[in-house]
Structure 1
């Protein structure tokens, strides 16, 4: 898929293999930049190149191929974790990783205050946890909406009580202005104090860290995507999966992020190709509906890079769910091509429909979270994943993965047509 602007979008609950797919698209040197278009530091995109392995959190997954990253305005930026990731990449032999990074000034900051608040709320839910990563993502977005909405103390906004007077949310550009940064962080700490106490660093310490971040990182404006696109092809890297999308996912087990390619389209404002990524079997982390879950599949396909998370809970696995796959493709407005990973797995099965009395081939309108908790999948043997997916979805498979390493990935011929931006 060289020579084209491509959005890489996960068609499951995350963990589809987006990082390895992005690395495969970047490895031959034809990509100008990887643009992260959603999510934040909760991304966990694994790339393996020989004896080097890195789980990408905020840097784009083309970094080991030497491709720069732009964190767009739709990304939630966590500078402290970003500094740690930069050191980890340097230890893997990436020279001066921060020189490969640009950050949009309008991107929201995720702070230790947001993280502490996220974990406190999830702890309070007990067995009713939503499956949060505990990285402060939802809290970052929620707080950013309060001041524009003029939410008042004591009211309930987006399902959560507003406990105090909210200020304007801190953004990356504030890191270059110590006075404005301190004002915003003081307001943030005061707002969340009743919920989390002092379970975060002092504001003065955060100010110092963020000023250092602004000195080290290249901060850009909203025109950077167009400037990069004028120089050559871009790969827009999505985080999480469409089945966790804030609008199309199954509440409350969703992310506060638009996972569909809408964000990439709005950033580019020009035609791009949508490459939907799926495994040959279904996975998800933590709570939420999972019709085809099968403990036997999890045991057979255990993975070194996926396991139990303190806040997400267990990594779960089951058979590929074609009903949910069709739903995800439709939520994207269609895809131009597929990337299929984990083709080295054997004895695969696929759920083609749900049996709810009358056979249900697609999801109807209504409370899908409840519906998915009671459907019975109709599972059959799956001998030819690539051919079956191309026939079922009517689009070609353009990237294949048959193992964890870059050498196990094959990028086929480019797609013939794209969708308007």
Structure 2
């Protein structure tokens, strides 16, 4: 039996979907534990591209149980659209999907409030209502999945929340109010379509672990976007680190065996916030185009930069990775010299730890080590020994610096374009 958590080690978009999809072949259950439809996991199977936002990537395998845990905030409209898309592509959903009773729902007023507050580009969110939904959850005003089955409770919650939201929309944002009857009717329709998926998922998962099943916990976003341990306030609204897998599913830390960090071979970031290793010349644009660095959810271009080992050292510490997977190594083909950030310069001193103060991070200059690149094409390479010597040296440098074994190396988008140095299950 093995329980494994998959965590993004940077600012998200590390290629977690492919790694989860690959590892699912050895798993029985795949569990999503935080975030919402602001996540976008892209998986390529037999030249077909699948983009998943809420449903765990394991759904692309037959007879795998996929669970949306209580730590997720769920937009019913987005989920139903995703289910329809997968059904139309011949993917079996009905017997393989479970949704936590205590999973919180994104409501139309969450999206409305976020759209208004983001008009000045304050944070650079996806405008999916994620933050306002988590706000209501913490303020104990949230609507949960189970409320869909109790119309009186649902209507009362909508009515109470709209009193505040409509006041803000009209008097603060000079916008139109929302209609409670319309929202109520809309969510009763969602209830009819989703009621068969609602379950005591904490019991399902713990029973599976106790029975010796392999369970994979799938994170969204990345460590540096964690609400507590990321570059606050330019973060997401949930705990993206390994600890979030436990609170987001109802599973004890004592039942977790391994934690795998997903690391892109360079660094990207979407939205606002400091990014010390960002490449602002033509090379950054070349990497963006070659790597297809555009958001799977919004299509926004990702900012591209050199690998930042200072940020990764922080990710290793707060997650305690037992291994890492390197993705998109093939995108670095043909670059003469590769830079790797091993420290920061701030004023007249060197910083070797990722600063929590945003004002310091904004003014940090990266200290780079330069490593020779490689010209050989490595896309699709499946054996470590077949990699160019300079590619091996690049990987060994990362491994030595972070003091964590590289277990998996992705050399392309497709499911089978992968090197397994050590199977992590």
TM range (shorter): 0.7 to 0.9
Q: Does the aligned pair in 1 maintain the 2:41–2:296 contact within 8 Å?
A: no
For residues 203-214 of structure 1, what are the structure 2 equivalents within 5 Å? 203-214=183-194
Per the alignment, residue 158 of structure 1 pairs with none
Corresponding residue of 2:287: 301
Q: Does 1:336 align with 2:322?
A: yes
Measured after TM superposition, the shift of residue 325 of structure 1 is 0.8
TM-score of the two chains, using structure 1 as the length reference: 0.86
Instruction: Say which of 130, 146, 149 aligns to 1:176.
Output: 149
Give the whole-Å Cα distance in 2 for the aligned partners of 1:400 and 1:171.
39
SS of equivalent residue, structure 1 residue 134: coil
Deviates more, 1:199-208 or 1:54-63: 199-208
Q: Structure 2: 5+ residue runs without aligned partners?
A: 170-175, 372-389
Residue 19 of structure 1 is matched in structure 2 by 17
What aligned pairs does 1:150-165 form with structure 2 within 5 A after superposition? none
Point out the more displaced range, 233-242 or 186-195.
186-195
Give a deviation string over 1:53-97, Cα, whole Å, max 9, x none: 1111000011112322111111111111000001111122203x2
SS at match of 1:98: coil
Asked whether the 8 Å contact 1:112–1:200 carries over to 2, the reply is no
Give the one of 115, 119, 123 matched to 1:130: 123
Q: SS of the residue aligned with 1:212?
A: helix
Aligned to 1:239: 220
Distance 1:33 1:309 in 2: 24
How many residue pairs were aligned?
A: 385
The answer on whether the counterparts of 2:30 and 2:216 sit within 8 Å (CA) in structure 1 is yes
Supply the distance in 1 between the matched residues of 2:413 and 2:41 (Cα, whole angstroms): 12
d(CA) in 2 for partners of 1:227 and 1:282? 38
Asked whether the 8 Å contact 1:278–1:339 carries over to 2, the reply is yes
**CA contact 1:86–1:98 (8 Å) conserved in 2:** no
Show the counterpart of 1:322.
Answer: 309
Could you say what secondary structure the match of 2:50 adopts?
strand
RMSD over aligned CA atoms reads: 2.2
The alpha-carbon deviation at position 313 of structure 1 amounts to: 5.5
Q: Secondary structure at the match of 2:11?
A: coil
Deviations 1:256-275 (A, max 9, x none): 10011112245332132000
Mapped partners of 2:70, 2:215: distance in 1 = 16
- Alpha-carbon distance in 2 for matches of 1:308, 1:84: 19
TM-score with structure 2 length normalisation?
Answer: 0.85
**Equivalent residue of 1:339, what SS?**
strand
Among candidates 270, 286, 291, match of residue 271 of structure 2: 286
Tell whether 2:369 aligns with 1:353.
no
1:6-405 to 2 correspondence within 5 Å?
Answer: 6-26=4-24, 28=25, 30-66=26-62, 67-95=64-92, 97-123=93-119, 126-127=120-121, 129-147=122-140, 168-196=141-169, 197-198=176-177, 202-231=182-211, 232-266=213-247, 267-269=250-252, 270-295=255-280, 296-303=282-289, 306-307=293-294, 314-332=301-319, 334-344=320-330, 345-346=332-333, 347=335, 348-356=338-346, 357-364=348-355, 367=357, 369-382=358-371, 383=390, 384-405=393-414
CA distance 1:198–1:216, shift in 2 (3 Å): farther
Deviation at 1:284, TM superposition (A): 0.7
Distance 1:306 1:182 in 2: 42
